[in-house]
Amino acid sequence: MRLGRNTLKNIRKQKVGSCSDAELRDTLTRLTREVQGGASEHALPEVFAVVDEAISRRLGAWRLFDSAQLFDKSVPGPSFESFHNRADRISRGLDYGRALNLWEGQGKTCWESFESAVAPILLRHGLNPAERIIVGTILFVNKRSQVEYTADILLPASFYQTLRTQDTDGILTFQATDEQLLAGILLYQGKIVEMNAGEGKTVAAAFPAVLHAVHGRPVHIITANDYLASRDAEWLAAVYESLGLSGSAVLEFMEDSERRISYGKNIVYGALREFGFDFMRDNLKLSAAELVQRNLDVAIVDEADHAMIDEANMPLIIAGGTGSIPRIPAKLRTAIEQLVNLQQSVVSNFEQELEQDRPRSKPYLLLLTKLYLAEPESDVLRREFATDPKLLKRVLRTITAERIDEDFENMTRDLYYWIDDRGQSLCLTEKGQDYVESRLGHLFDDLALQEEISSIEANTGGLPLAQRRKEVNNRQRQLARRQDRMQQVVRMLWAYVLLKKNVDYLVRDDQVVLLDKYTGRGRPDTRFHYGLQAALEVKEGVPVQPENAVLGRISVRGFLSQYHEVSGMTGTAMSSKDEFGRSYGLDVVPVPPNKRLERTDLEPRLYSDNNDKLQAIVDEVRSCHQVGRPVLIGTHSIDECDAISQLLTNDSIEHNLLNAANDMEEELVIKQAGRLGAVTVATDMAGRGSDIILEPGLDRQIAENYAALVARLLEEGVGQVTLECPTENAADFLLPIIVAGIPDCSVATTRRVDAIEIIVSATGGSTGGSTTGSTVFMEFGLGLYVIGTESSDTARVDQQLKGRSGRQGAFGVSRFFLSSEDGLFKFHGDAAPASSTLVDAKSDSAGRTFWEGAPLTRRLENIRANAEKDAEARRALVEEYTRVFEAQSFAYYRTRKDILRIKDFLAFRASLVTPMATQMVQKYFPGLLVDDYQRQFAGLCEELDVDYKVDASDLWGVDLSMLEYEIALLIESSLERARMRFTDDEYGKLGKLLYLQTSDELWRDHISHIQSLILSAQLCGHNGRGDVATYTLTSFDSYDEFQNRIMDSFLPKLISFPGELTGESETKTFEFSGNFSVELSVELSEEVLQILA
């Protein structure tokens, strides 16, 4: 940080304010030459200073030319409208027209020549020197903007200097803060920067972006969505282009040609999904000319914690083909529904037995553990845990201990399935498997089929090769159908048991729409894959949508790892500092706010049950509504959102509702949320990417309403009103308004450790001589009041919600209302704090008991710490699975791009022949050993004849050490005969396309196989725990097999050229011209891996 401060001083020392726009552009051009020539060590201060000045001009001074924005009468300060009016009058004069024609006739376009041409006219209109410069510049810009992009209109330094002297109130001032420059320095150094909401992360990212561009590196600024990408790119384009650089955005609706142009710019904005899917699509292209992306060099990630931590393992999935509707038989749905009902009967029996068992006994604890495994959200279970905070810990300890031995199977013997201790996945028990197979036939044992396949493949002396392959294919299809049905069972169970309506998804317009876990936003463009989405659709009784074959998948973390340099910015990163370091090798550095934070985060309150909590929230909203304080209520689910909305409606409190069910109204709702008296109920979607702007003069109106309320209470006979102010500044704001608004009263202040009290006492004049002597206590607050209805298991989510208040030094307050029934307390090492463990219970105005204070806060911090450790462990487990497959993906993609760039296809073909010959010899003579030479040689000859159209009978008796060489010669000769039917250019193009087509089809099968391996690891691992080591070894064996299958398939197809080109490919269409098209549908999916986590 000290290095950054020193660099900041060097930036401020640069004297660029006296440079014209042209000189600023020339300076950056000079720096680009120097940097790319090797002299880069001192470039940062000068580049940042140039960018800072360009931002000040293009985002500040250039607003002068937006007359509509300046003519707002509500904006105080000097009237710039007069300059436009004078320019308009002058432009209509005949003398100006003649001067303009003469200037244009000379072919001049620069400011200096224009100023000389119109100077006499401006002088005749009686303008003083400052007015002449400003009016003349308006005339110049109006004229040049008709034929030239405004970013290329270059103005003199004298204009900006003059404008600053006229703009005494800073209406046209836009100055990057030291904090934004410091953030830019840290971003350039490859840090994750934490900046509070409203501190200007968008502008901060522009500084490192330009410096990277000066070094010749393409820069991708990754935003949360298309709207932000378009907004930020459009806003900063004038800055970049005025300096001779280019900026653009990549948006969802763009065609490849438009994307290719955008990626050609120096600085590109876009949502993570767009960059990720373009990377994926490029790895499916069939010629280098079709690629759209350049190299992945520099990424600057906004909302970095959400993208790089929360969604790190979310797979980006690209799917293609015509798509088919998954077939889920009615008997499968019936079997799953009956299985769930049977499990619920078991749960009911456990709950009844709990009522009879002696509490705290060993049978009681065992029964409690069984119930937790069967239904962790049982109301009876929740009630038991609420009475003793140690019970949940004992249950979890029992589960952990018994998973490692045979007792676990005894514990789950009565269950049809059990749910893991965090409600994230489930496992069928032996009883559950038996029930499913009794309804659907054999599913879980495929050993017999696999043995049949092995036996047929080994029987080289029996059936002919073509017949053996046919028999093997038939059994492999049977095996695939059985495995698919087994996986359908698991997915249907996930859909029915684990995925909750209005929490994980909602149903809208007869479609299942998935919800973002961290923001609550709906994701209509997101679908589960491998049949899980179809299972949800069957569960909800909506039409089942077609599902395309998966052609490629990578995780967000995997995609970001392809960039050479990554940095990021967010409002909440410090709590994930260790994980950023472990997963990405990146340091997290906080940047202090430009203005002191005036938000007060009050201690959370804990109520005994959810009903008391919700009623207390309504009471709090009513109190705020009385004085006009805007309130934002943040919830975790649509159901809770609707429940609070109904309570507010019952209390006649007008409010706006914002959740995934009405997210189309988000912009309007957020715009109104900062107005006097506004009440907004929202899911966590209001926590990110949305700045709530407070209505001008809001705090004064609130304070005056408090003063009026106090005056009314005194008039009604109350003897004393005590206003509890959260900060000294808030008290200082209120005090003069109280004094001015209630003249006949006495006012005193007292200071407490956590608040300032303003005590307003009645006098004879204010009460008419009659008081009751009673005292009323009131909490005073200004700005936006944020209420959280439930604490998240991730501190960053709560911080994001709090951060909606107190933006840029504004007043604000936040508080969380909790209950012992909240989700945080269900799965994380300790139950909700029980009343017996907390002291100092309090009562609210309605007599409801609650707890708050240091003991509760410490307990919550401990629970959340455990929850965050659990979440990080789950992410790490998913990452282990993900990294294995991604290592294969990136290896395949590199090979694929190498194929696209091949110049000598014959040399490439030759490189495949010898390995193929080696593979065949090892297949029939493993280890060059002879068991039955005649049978082994016959099998070899048969395969060479069927696949390569060659007669190998002359090789009988050839020394085995020479057999590979001889077979390679035979294959090469056959390939050469096939090549003679084409010109060299045709053969090279078609050969590459055939190789890509073959490998892509096999790659798609490999992806499906890897998904099956993951499911098998989860289902068959020890007591439901995935065996990562076994999965890793098996998956890499599968990858080796995949590579061998490419050679096995490609070379025979190449010999059969061109007959194979119109064969069995499902991805259509191959044309002799060399054009190859694949229908693609791009889908982002938080699918099975996330559920397994």
CATH of 182-320+558-590, one of 3.40.190.10, 3.40.50.150, 1.25.40.80, 3.40.50.300: 3.40.50.300
In the chain, domain spans: 2-175, 182-320+558-590, 330-498, 598-694+783-852, 699-779, 879-1090
pLDDT of residue 894: 93
Query: What's the CATH fold of domain 699-779?
Result: Translation Initiation Factor IF3 (3.30.110)
pLDDT of residue 752: 82
What stretches of 37-177 show up as alpha helix (H) in DSSP?
43-58, 67-70, 81-91, 94-105, 111-124, 129-144, 157-166
Residue 1073 has pLDDT above 60, yes or no: no
Question: What pLDDT digit, counting tens, does each position of 110-132 carry?
Answer: 888 999 999 999 998 889 999 99
Question: What pLDDT digit, counting tens, does each position of 228-259 carry?
Answer: 999 999 999 999 999 999 999 999 999 999 99
Residue 76 has pLDDT above 50, yes or no: no
Instruction: Report the range out of 183-197, 317-331, 811-825 with the highest average pLDDT.
Output: 183-197
Residue 951 has pLDDT above 60, yes or no: yes
pLDDT of residue 880: 85
State how far the Cα of 873 lies from the Cα of 879, in Å rounded to an integer.
Answer: 10
Residue of higher predicted confidence among 283 and 71: 283
State how far the Cα of 219 lies from the Cα of 275, in Å rounded to an integer.
Answer: 12
Average pLDDT over residues 502-525: 83
State how far the Cα of 283 lies from the Cα of 996, in Å rounded to an integer.
Answer: 10
Q: Is 10 helix (H, G, I), strand (E, B) or coil?
A: helix
**Whether the Cβ atoms of residue 172 and residue 160 lie closer than 8 Å to each other:** no
Average pLDDT over residues 785-804: 89
Instruction: Supply the pTM of this predicted model.
Output: 0.85
pLDDT of residue 1061: 43
pLDDT of residue 871: 80
Q: How many Cα atoms are found within 13 Å in the side-chain-facing hemisphere of 506?
A: 20
What confidence category does residue 1092 fall into, taking pLDDT thresholds of 50, 70 and 90?
Answer: very low
Q: How many Cα atoms are found within 13 Å in the side-chain-facing hemisphere of 916?
A: 24
**Whether the Cβ atoms of residue 487 and residue 1008 lie closer than 8 Å to each other:** no
Strand intervals (E) in 476-611: 505-508, 511-515, 522-523, 547-555, 565-570, 588-590, 598-601, 605-607
Residue of higher predicted confidence among 103 and 410: 103
pLDDT of residue 1091: 34
Residue 348 has pLDDT above 80, yes or no: yes
CATH of 598-694+783-852, one of 3.40.50.2000, 3.30.70.420, 3.40.50.300, 3.40.390.10: 3.40.50.300
Residue 901 has pLDDT above 60, yes or no: yes
Cis peptide before 1058 (omega within 30 of 0): yes
State how far the Cα of 480 lies from the Cα of 487, in Å rounded to an integer.
Answer: 10
State how far the Cα of 793 lies from the Cα of 987, in Å rounded to an integer.
Answer: 60
- Residue range 879-1090, CATH number: 1.10.3060.10
- The chain-wide mean pLDDT, for the chain, equals 85
Confirm whether 182-320+558-590 and 598-694+783-852 share one CATH topology: yes
What confidence category does residue 364 fall into, taking pLDDT thresholds of 50, 70 and 90?
Answer: confident
Q: Which residues contact 73 (CB under 8 A, 6 or more apart)?
A: none
What confidence category does residue 1088 fall into, taking pLDDT thresholds of 50, 70 and 90?
Answer: very low
Residue 580 has pLDDT above 80, yes or no: yes
Average pLDDT over residues 310-322: 80
pLDDT of residue 968: 95
How long is the chain? 1093
Instruction: Report the range out of 109-113, 263-267, 857-861 with the highest average pLDDT.
Output: 263-267
What confidence category does residue 1083 fall into, taking pLDDT thresholds of 50, 70 and 90?
Answer: very low
Q: Could you tell me which of 86, 135, 157, 21 has the C-alpha nearest to residue 118? A: 135
Residue of higher predicted confidence among 1009 and 1002: 1002
Residue carrying structure tokens 């009131």: 778
Mean pLDDT check: name the lowest of 320-334, 874-888, 898-912, 1076-1090: 1076-1090
Average pLDDT over residues 54-73: 80
What confidence category does residue 79 fall into, taking pLDDT thresholds of 50, 70 and 90?
Answer: low
State how far the Cα of 234 lies from the Cα of 736, in Å rounded to an integer.
Answer: 45
Percent of the chain past pLDDT 90, that is, above it, reads 48
Percent of the chain past pLDDT 70, that is, above it, reads 89
Average pLDDT over residues 762-776: 65
Q: Could you tell me which of 785, 663, 716 has the C-alpha nearest to residue 225? A: 663
Tokens standing for 254? Answer: 């763009």
pLDDT of residue 263: 97
Mean pLDDT check: name the lowest of 126-140, 288-302, 361-375: 361-375
Please, which residues bridge with residue 555 across strands? Answer: 315
| Ramachandran area for residue 510 (φ above 0: left; ψ -120 to 50: alpha; else beta) | left
pLDDT of residue 690: 61
SS3 content of the chain, % helix, strand, coil (to 5): 55, 15, 30
Residue of higher predicted confidence among 900 and 408: 900
Residue 75 has pLDDT above 70, yes or no: no
Question: What pLDDT digit, counting tens, does each position of 461-490 carry?
Answer: 677 887 887 888 888 788 878 878 888 888
pLDDT of residue 1069: 33
What confidence category does residue 154 fall into, taking pLDDT thresholds of 50, 70 and 90?
Answer: very high
